[in-house]
Structure formats: structure tokens, C-alpha cells
């Protein structure tokens, strides 16, 4: 059986910087309030009409493919993680295949929100481990800004999220001591509605009902989050799934060279850092400048850490995420 390694990384974020002070002009909030609760100072939002979820993913993917040192036609499969696709269907995976101009390879979309990239990495890893594919393109991309309630009513959620994309190329690795050592995935649907966006789902209201109601005050079109409940569950599940990954590989917390947590809230990352007694140089956070980019947050952070020389050959890298579903997961990687 093969292992898979990350052979190329790339990310893209829009040029448009939205600061906490900018948001204070739209809603009753301020920089101190946002930073105290989330750690976020600014985020990126697309300019309407300039970028989409798939176009941002494409830009990140092109960088990752170039850094992997392969031709785009060597990509065997595409996995695209997002909660904000361009269309209800088809998903953005096929748009990447089209816009890259590559052969008719398979493409699959992952709808696991904040855990999406870890789930996508796990799926790609399994395809490579079994020998089915050699090079798999994995993308996490989100366009949140077009679907947020940018008023005082929605401030508890809207101040958190930003737009962006990250991508990785996973390539077959003959050395089983290197690459992705293991991945670990979980879900707990009992809490599905605690972090959710209900409309325009087909379960309770059909499209004709939505059009008939035409209700501008329908909050089901905006994301809902039970913040304290999500926080309490996140710190527990983050810890559990990191420990699970370390134990599977006979490792301990002190062996971690770099932890890349999903950038949900700086307070969560700091809690996990303290629990595992990790130094500042063992954890990478960038939520301060990008906000929560959901499925894009880990690949953006991982790419930045690698670009800055904080992820080096031989390092033990741990990816961990928790989010809507609830879903959570980890990946243990020997770089």
C-alpha cells in the first residue's frame, strides 16, 4: 500500500480587506468587541462580480499544481470542499476540471463545512493509498460575504467569516514513513441545527413556497450559530481527535512540530495550544487577518506556514478541524 504526500500548496484571498472598523459602520459593533470574542482584526471579502467560489479555488489550484512540479494533465482526480458553491448544482469540482482544461477526470464535492478540507484530504489519501490514483487535487474554497446578514441582527455570525481558497496536490509516496500517516473523521448529527443554514433546503420548504412567501425578513437564509454551545463542543472534539491521531501513530504532543487548526476562533486555538502545552512556534494561526474561511482555512494556513519556512521536511504536522454537522477530524502528516 502507498502513502500520499502533499507535493504542492497554494492559496488565494481577495484584495478587498474589510476591517472591524469597516463593519462598525454597518452594524452596532466595534473592534474591541470583535477581537475580544474572536481574535479577528480583519477579513477578505470578494468584490461582487469579480470572483466566485470556483474561480478562487482555480487560482489556488494553479499555484499548487505548479509547486507540485507536475503538468495539469497529470491530475487524476479532483476533490472540492465548500459550503458555498457557485450553483446549487452542479458542484464546483467539475468547474475546476473545465477551467483547468484537463481531461475528463472524476470530480467530487465535499459538504462538510469547517471540517471539509480534512475530510477531502482523507478521501484523496484513501484513493492514493489503494493505488487508484497518483495525483489528486484537493481544494477548499469559500465565498461567505454574499450570504451574510451585515446588520446588527446578524453581527454575532457576520463578523466572523471571510472569503478565500486554498489547494493541495496529493501525490503517491513510496516511503510509508512519510506523507499522510493517518486521518480520523467523526460526526454527531444530534447537534446539526446548532450551526446551520436552513434555506434553501428542500426538506421543509419547497422553492414554490419560498417564492410565494417572498419574505425579506426570512432569517433562514442566513447562517445561525449557537456560539457558546459550539465553542464548548469544539474544544472537546479538537482535543479528542488530535489525541486519537497521535495515539494511532505512537506519538505524543511533544512530537508535534506544527499544528494547523481550523481557524474558527482564536480563543479555541489558544485553548488547544495550552492543553497540549505547545509553544507559539508550534501552532499557526492567521484568523486575525482572514477570519473564518471554513473549508479554506486549513489549506490557507498550511500554505502560509510552509511559505514562511515553518513547515520543513521531516516535521510532524497535525491538521485538525471542527464545525457544522457537527463534524470533526484530524490528519497526521510526516512532511
Per-residue pLDDT of the chain (335 residues; tens, 9 = 90+): 789 999 999 999 999 999 999 999 999 999 999 999 999 999 999 999 999 999 999 999 999 999 999 999 999 999 999 999 999 899 999 999 999 999 999 999 999 999 999 999 999 999 999 999 999 999 999 999 998 999 999 888 999 999 999 999 999 998 888 999 999 999 998 998 887 877 666 566 666 676 677 777 766 667 777 878 888 988 999 999 999 999 999 999 999 999 999 999 999 999 999 999 999 999 999 999 999 999 999 999 999 999 999 999 999 999 999 999 899 999 999 99
pTM assigned to the model = 0.94
CATH number at residue 134: 3.40.47.10
- Residue 202 lies inside a defined structural domain of this protein: no
Residue 215 included in any domain: no
For residue 205, tell me if it sits in a domain: no
- Rounded to 5°, the CA angle 112-116-121 comes to 135
66-87 residue pLDDT tens: 999 999 999 999 999 999 999 9
Q: Do the beta carbons of residue 263 and residue 322 sit within 8 Å?
A: no
In a domain, 216, yes or no: no
Comparing CA positions, the residue from 109, 125, 138 lying closest to residue 183 is: 125
- Say if residue 87 is in the same domain as residue 116: yes
Task: State the DSSP code for 191.
Answer: G
User: Given 148, 176, 204, which residue is the final one in a domain?
Assistant: 176
Backbone angles phi, psi at 78, to 5 degrees: -125, 130
Q: Find out whether 278 and 259 touch, Cβ atoms under 8 Å.
A: yes
Same domain for 170 and 190?
no
Q: Does 212 fall in a domain?
A: no
185 and 134 together in one domain: no
Q: Nearest-CA neighbor of 184 among 268, 126, 131, 139?
A: 126
Cis ω on the peptide bond leading into residue 140 (within 30° of 0)? no
Let me know if residue 30 belongs to a domain. yes
Q: Domain check: are 235 and 286 in the same one? A: yes
Segments forming the whole domain that contains residue 267: 180-196+221-334
Whether 188 and 141 share a structural domain:
no
Beta strands 258-261 and 327-334 are unpaired
8 and 133 co-located in one domain: yes
Give the domain-ending residue among 176, 210, 232. 176
Q: Please name which of 138, 324, 335, 320 lies closest in space to residue 245, comparing C-alpha atoms.
A: 320
| Active-site residue list | 114, 262, 292
Task: Indicate if 303 and 318 belong to the same structural domain.
Answer: yes
Domain count, the chain: 2
Amino acid at each position: 500500500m502507498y502513502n500520499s504526500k502533499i507535493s504542492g500548496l497554494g492559496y488565494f484571498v481577495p484584495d478587498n480587506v474589510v476591517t472591524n472598523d469597516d463593519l462598525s459602520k454597518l452594524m452596532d459593533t466595534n473592534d474591541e468587541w470583535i477581537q475580544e470574542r474572536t481574535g479577528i482584526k480583519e477579513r477578505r471579502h470578494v468584490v461582487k462580480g469579480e470572483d466566485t467560489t470556483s474561480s478562487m479555488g482555480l487560482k489556488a489550484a494553479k499555484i499548487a499544481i505548479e509547486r507540485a512540479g507536475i503538468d495539469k494533465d497529470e491530475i487524476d482526480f479532483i476533490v472540492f470542499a465548500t459550503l458555498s458553491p457557485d450553483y446549487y448544482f452542479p458542484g464546483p469540482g467539475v468547474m475546476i476540471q473545465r477551467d483547468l482544461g484537463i481531461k475528463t477526470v472524476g470530480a467530487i464535492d465535499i459538504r462538510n463545512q469547517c471540517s471539509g478540507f480534512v475530510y477531502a484530504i482523507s478521501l484523496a489519501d484513501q484513493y492514493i493509498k489503494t493505488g487508484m490514483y497518483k495525483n489528486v487535487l484537493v481544494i477548499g474554497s469559500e465565498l461567505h460575504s454574499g450570504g451574510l446578514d451585515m446588520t446588527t441582527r446578524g453581527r454575532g455570525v457576520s463578523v466572523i467569516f471571510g472569503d478565500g481558497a486554498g489547494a493541495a496536490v496529493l501525490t503517491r509516496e513510496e516511503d510509508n514513513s512519510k506523507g499522510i500517516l493517518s486521518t480520523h473523521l467523526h460526526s454527531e448529527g444530534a447537534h446539526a441545527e446548532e450551526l446551520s443554514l436552513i434555506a434553501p433546503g428542500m426538506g421543509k420548504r419547497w422553492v414554490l413556497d419560498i417564492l410565494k412567501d417572498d419574505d425579506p425578513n426570512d432569517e433562514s437564509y442566513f447562517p445561525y450559530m449557537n456560539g457558546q454551545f459550539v465553542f464548548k463542543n469544539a474544544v472537546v472534539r479538537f482535543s479528542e481527535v488530535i489525541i486519537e491521531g497521535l495515539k494511532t501513530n505512537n506519538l505524543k504532543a511533544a512530537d508535534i512540530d506544527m499544528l494547523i487548526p481550523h481557524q474558527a476562533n482564536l480563543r479555541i486555538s489558544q485553548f488547544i495550544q495550552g492543553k497540549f502545552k505547545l509553544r507559539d512556534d508550534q501552532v499557526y494561526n492567521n484568523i486575525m487577518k482572514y477570519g473564518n474561511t471554513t473549508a479554506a482555512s486549513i489549506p490557507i494556513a498550511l500554505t502560509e506556514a510552509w511559505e514562511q519556512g515553518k513547515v520543513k521536511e521531516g516535521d510532524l504536522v497535525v491538521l485538525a478541524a471542527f464545525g457544522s454537522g457537527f463534524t470533526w477530524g484530524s490528519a497526521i502528516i510526516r512532511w
